[in-house]
């Protein structure tokens, strides 16, 4: 007998529909699987065999052929376990329907028949919605994630026995769930947006900038960077507070919009980083990889590409502490995502595209010993050591950092100062207002921040008067700014004007932007 079911494979952050065809025929017992399955899919044969037996069903002692169509798309992961098992049971008559074309089935099987969570459920649910399917049959632990997509009928199961019951008699199965806490309502419909966005964050309470003593210029740079989504470099000796301030940056960023939250949740779902029963992610990501990270871990990759740190930081912050300790070739791979806001990883079968629109925040010492320019300690680095150290950050990458600020060591008197600095909440209010001005201004251009401005749009929105242009021209000559540096100064000046609630860029806005361009 032949049975056919629907499931899906994830490539990048997109889901590809897959048909699972199972044929059980008389012949010598054999279990053959075709359709470009990788090792994790081929291993499902033993998991499926034992899960069926340990769930109280008979595993057919016949020839079993499983075809995963389309056959030219690589299949990876353990989400195919459940559809393969249900296909075998459908082909042998245990599941009454042999053609299940209205619902996507996915889940990993344990040997005792329990169904484990799988990755990539949100993109799969979105693909099912676009294809006009009725809904999903999926692990209970993934129900909250799939419920983000509206108008899908979700059947959440925790074992193979429950999955068979749900397919054979869905009415009775739903009645048996009446005593359980509902996952997303009786039909798995999307809760209201306010209820999703009001779910408490699983992360700790954001750190507050009122803990930072002094460093007024660096605090101002953080505010400007947050308001315009600009890249930032903090330079200073050890102990000046660079890491402390960078880790408090998420506390002054505006909350995720609903569309941004969907994108962030999709990336983390594909990466398998969502905890069980997770719903919509409501906090901006903050990623701080160690300096020993590889190219593939930072940018993404693998035989079947997975998102790297730049994609996991999408709509959030990528913090590189001790930036010059990273291998130079690792830093250089950041150049494309910083410009394009995405990462394209080409493989023989197809190209995976991951979103990578993030704020890059780097922290570095001014020299190998860390005390160049420090008034209290002597630097013992030779000119050659200093030159080699600074060459680790290439000119093209340095050019992509919108703001650079010195973070000097604090004197003892400042460390003992008990006066309360401005809190993150008050700074965040100004940042949110500036972001709102930008979102309104760029509504028709499908961008939301000044950092995303293209050259044609800058001609329209970053125009300056004659006096301001003379300041810019003088700075270009004196600082030897490149064309990219010139554009970045104008973008930062536009953000400073937004923070000041000004419609036009003035000379003082450009002067402040140049202050953060000329450091070092």
pLDDT at 276: 82
pLDDT at 304: 80
407-438 burial, b at 16+ Cβ within 10 Å, e below that, comes to bbbbeeeeeeeeeebeebeebbebbeebbebb
- C-alpha distances in angstroms, 5 versus 17, 136, 243? 11, 12, 51
| Cα radius of gyration (the chain) | 27
CA dihedral (11, 13, 19, 22) in degrees, to 10, reads 70
pLDDT at 415: 66
Q: Which helix (H) or strand (E) holds 20?
A: strand 14-25
Count helices and strands in the chain by DSSP H and E runs: 23, 18
Interatomic CA distance for residues 490 and 46, integer angstroms: 61
Greatest mean pLDDT among 149-153, 373-377, 419-423, 516-520 lies in: 149-153
What would the mean pLDDT of 455-466 be, rounded to a whole number?
90
pLDDT at 288: 96
| Confidence band for 261, pLDDT divided at 50, 70 and 90 | very high
Lowest mean pLDDT: which of 42-46, 207-211, 294-298? 207-211
Enumerate the β-bridge partners of residue 139: 157
pLDDT at 441: 94
Cα angle at 439 between 433 and 445, to 5 degrees? 165
User: Percentage of residues in the chain with pLDDT exceeding 90?
Assistant: 65
Interatomic CA distance for residues 11 and 4, integer angstroms: 22
Lowest mean pLDDT: which of 189-198, 488-497, 504-513? 189-198
Q: Are 513 and 500 in contact (CB under 8 A)?
A: no
State the span(s) of the chain assigned CATH 3.30.230.10: 2-191
Q: How is residue 115 annotated by DSSP?
A: E
Q: Domain 2-191: which CATH class?
A: alpha beta
- Is the pLDDT assigned to residue 158 strictly greater than 60? yes
| Confidence band for 196, pLDDT divided at 50, 70 and 90 | very low
Q: How is residue 385 annotated by DSSP?
A: H
User: Percentage of residues in the chain with pLDDT exceeding 70?
Assistant: 92
Residue 376, helix vs strand vs coil: coil
Give the residue among 444, 429, 449, 144 at the shortest CA–CA distance from 315: 449
Q: Are 314 and 356 in contact (CB under 8 A)?
A: yes
| Confidence band for 416, pLDDT divided at 50, 70 and 90 | low
- Is the pLDDT assigned to residue 139 strictly greater than 60? yes
State the span(s) of the chain assigned CATH 3.40.50.300: 209-443
Neighbours of 293 (CB within 10 A): 16
What would the mean pLDDT of 142-171 be, rounded to a whole number?
92
Tokens representing 212 are: 């930072």
Through-space distance between the first and last CA atoms of the chain, rounded to whole angstroms: 74
pLDDT tens figures, 69-116: 998 888 888 999 999 999 999 999 999 999 999 999 999 999 999 999
Give the residue among 349, 353, 352, 354 at the shortest CA–CA distance from 38: 349
- HSE-up (13 A, CA, CB side) for residue 149: 26
Tokens representing 413 are: 């008197």
Interatomic CA distance for residues 400 and 230, integer angstroms: 9
Q: Would you mind telling me the total number of residues written for the chain in this entry? A: 520
Tokens representing 434 are: 């500036």
193-220 burial, b at 16+ Cβ within 10 Å, e below that, comes to eeebeeeeeeeeebbbbbebbbbeebbb
| Confidence band for 230, pLDDT divided at 50, 70 and 90 | very high
Contacts of 502 (CB under 8 A, 6+ apart): 509
Interatomic CA distance for residues 81 and 105, integer angstroms: 10
pLDDT at 417: 65
- Is the pLDDT assigned to residue 372 strictly greater than 90? no
Burial of 395 (0-12, 13-18, 19+ CB in 10 A): exposed
Q: Which residue has the higher pLDDT, 196 or 42?
A: 42
What would the mean pLDDT of 358-368 be, rounded to a whole number?
94
pLDDT at 197: 38
- Is the pLDDT assigned to residue 411 strictly greater than 80? no
Tokens representing 332 are: 């250089």
What would the mean pLDDT of 19-30 be, rounded to a whole number?
94
Interatomic CA distance for residues 40 and 10, integer angstroms: 14
Q: How is residue 191 annotated by DSSP?
A: P
- HSE-up (13 A, CA, CB side) for residue 451: 24
CATH superfamily of 209-443: P-loop containing nucleotide triphosphate hydrolases (3.40.50.300)
- Supply φ then ψ for residue 274, to 5 degrees: -80, 130
Q: Are 379 and 371 in contact (CB under 8 A)?
A: yes
pLDDT at 518: 64
- Is the pLDDT assigned to residue 347 strictly greater than 70? yes
- Is the pLDDT assigned to residue 350 strictly greater than 60? yes
pLDDT at 199: 41
């Amino acid at each position: 007998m032949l049975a056919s079911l629907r499931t899906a494979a994830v490539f990048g952050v997109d889901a590809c529909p897959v048909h699972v065809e199972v044929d059980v025929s008389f012949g010598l017992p054999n279990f053959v699987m075709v359709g470009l399955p990788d090792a994790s899919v081929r291993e499902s044969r033993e998991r499926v065999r034992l899960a069926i037996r340990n769930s109280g069903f008979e595993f057919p002692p016949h020839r079993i052929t499983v075809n995963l169509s389309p056959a030219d798309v690589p299949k990876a992961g353990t989400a195919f376990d459940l559809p393969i098992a249900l296909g075998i049971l459908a082909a042998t008559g245990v599941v009454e329907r042999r053609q299940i074309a209205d619902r996507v089935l996915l889940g990993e099987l344990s040997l005792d028949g329990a169904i484990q969570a799988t990755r990539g459920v949100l993109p799969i649910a979105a693909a099912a919605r676009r294809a006009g399917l009725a809904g999903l049959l999926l692990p209970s632990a993934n129900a909250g994630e799939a419920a983000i997509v509206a108008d899908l009928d979700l059947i959440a199961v925790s074992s193979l026995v429950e999955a068979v019951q749900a397919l054979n008699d869905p009415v009775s199965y739903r009645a048996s769930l009446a005593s359980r806490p509902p996952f997303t309502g009786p039909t798995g419909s999307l809760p209201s947006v306010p209820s999703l966005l009001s779910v408490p964050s699983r992360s700790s309470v954001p750190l507050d900038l009122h803990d930072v003593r002094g460093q007024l210029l660096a605090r101002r740079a953080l505010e400007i960077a947050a308001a315009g989504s600009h890249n930032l470099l903090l330079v200073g000796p050890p102990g000046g507070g660079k890491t402390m301030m960078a880790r408090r940056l998420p506390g002054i960023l505006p909350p995720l919009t609903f569309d941004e939250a969907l994108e962030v949740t999709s990336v983390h779902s594909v990466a398998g980083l969502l905890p069980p029963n997770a719903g919509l992610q409501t906090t901006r990501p903050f990623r701080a990889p160690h300096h020993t990270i590889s190219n593939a871990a930072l940018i993404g990759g693998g035989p079947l590409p997975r998102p790297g740190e730049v994609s996991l930081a999408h709509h959030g912050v990528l913090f590189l502490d001790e930036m010059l300790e990273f291998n130079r070739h690792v830093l250089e791979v950041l150049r494309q995502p910083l410009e394009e806001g995405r990462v394209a990883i080409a493989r023989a079968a197809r190209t995976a595209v991951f979103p990578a629109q993030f704020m890059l925040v780097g922290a570095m010492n001014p020299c190998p010993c860390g005390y160049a320019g420090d008034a209290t300690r002597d630097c013992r680095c030779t000119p050659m050591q200093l030159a080699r150290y600074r060459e680790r950050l290439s000119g093209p990458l340095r050019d992509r950092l919108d703001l650079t600020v010195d973070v000097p060591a604090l004197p003892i008197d400042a460390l003992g100062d008990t006066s309360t600095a401005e809190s993150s909440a008050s700074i965040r209010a100004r940042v949110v207002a500036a972001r709102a001005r930008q979102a309104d201004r760029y509504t028709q251009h499908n961008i939301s921040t000044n950092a995303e401005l293209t050259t044609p749009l800058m001609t329209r929105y970053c125009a300056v008067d004659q006096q301001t242009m003379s300041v810019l021209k003088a700075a270009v000559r004196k600082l030897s700014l490149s064309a990219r540096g010139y554009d970045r100064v104008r973008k930062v000046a536009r953000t400073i004007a937004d923070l000041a609630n000004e419609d036009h860029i003035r000379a003082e806005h450009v002067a402040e932007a140049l202050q953060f361009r000329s450091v070092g």
